[in-house]
A and B are shown apart, each in its own frame.
Chain A
């Protein structure tokens, strides 16, 4: 049981390049989330999904797109990377009941130069 796996773990992009971060979970969770974490800012919710084929905006969605074509995968896309998107990105998943815990991946450290 791998839990939540993020790919890649590290990446350096040039401004304007695009990339996709992959989040995979093997717990059959309905809900998945993408967060970014910057120094002194805590975790901020980018986008989330309440089930296969659905996505919704979080606190800071601009500059990102997401897709949930399969229940176990949640993809975060940067179409044209900017230095302001340099951050550590965390993916999480949870059951759809309000009293259950969320499981987090180990993070992707992205640097945009």
Chain B
């Protein structure tokens, strides 16, 4: 299983872009990169995922490097409600398994 490495915490000013990095240097060719977030005491929430192309949705953008060994989640205009723990996950692929393995994530604190 490919592991991910994220900084334990980051700060961001309200209204500015938040750029959350993730390293996944052992990712294999058929594994996707997923991002989830967890607002205090709530269940995790899906944000976005990608394989090798950059992706964008209404919540965020995902930039994956060409070698796929790292990625960045971008929240274009962070608000106080974006304060949460953000998890970068590499999806285990193959066989009948489809499990998500979470690490400890990055605590993003959006400052007013």
Q: Show the binding face of A for B, using Cβ within 8 Å.
A: 4, 31, 33, 35, 40-45, 48, 50, 56, 58-59, 88, 90, 92, 94, 96, 98-99, 101-107
What is B's interface to A at a CB cutoff of 8 Å?
32, 34, 36, 41-46, 49, 51, 87, 91, 93, 96-105
CB <8 Å contact, B42 and A106: yes
Q: Are B32 and A92 in contact (CB under 8 A)?
A: no
A18 to chain B, nearest CB (A): 25
A102-B49 Cα distance, complex, nearest whole Å = 11
**Given contacts A90-B44, A101-B49, are A58 and B98 in contact (CB under 8 A)?**
no
- Please give the distance in Å from A100's CB to the nearest CB on chain B: 9
Interface centre among B43, B97, B101 (most CB of A within 10 A): B43
Contact B101 A45 (CB under 8 A): yes
Identify whether the interface residues of B are mostly helix, strand, loop, or mixed: loop
Q: When the two chains form their complex, are residues B46 and A101 in contact, meaning their CB atoms are under 8 A apart?
A: yes
Contacting residues, chain B, for A33 (C-beta < 8 A): 99-100
B102 to chain A: which residues have CB within 8 Å?
A: 35, 42-45
Interface contact A59-B101, CB-CB below 8 Å: yes
- Contact between chains at B46 and A103 (CB < 8 Å): yes
Evaluate whether A104 and B44 lie within 8 angstroms (CB atoms) in the complex, with A33-B99, A50-B97, A99-B32 already known: yes
Rounded to whole Å, the gap between the CB of A32 and the closest CB of chain B is 10
Give the chain B neighbours of A101 by CB distance below 8 A: 34, 46, 49
Known: A42-B87, A98-B91. A31 touches B43 (CB 8 A): no
Residue of A nearest to B36 (CB): A102
Closest to A51 in B: B96
Complex CA gap A105/B43 in Å reads 6
In the bound complex, do residue A99 and residue B49 qualify as a contact, i.e. CB atoms below 8 Å apart?
A: yes
In whole angstroms, how far apart are the Cα atoms of A31 and B95 in the complex? 14
Q: Is the CB of A31 within 8 A of B98?
A: yes
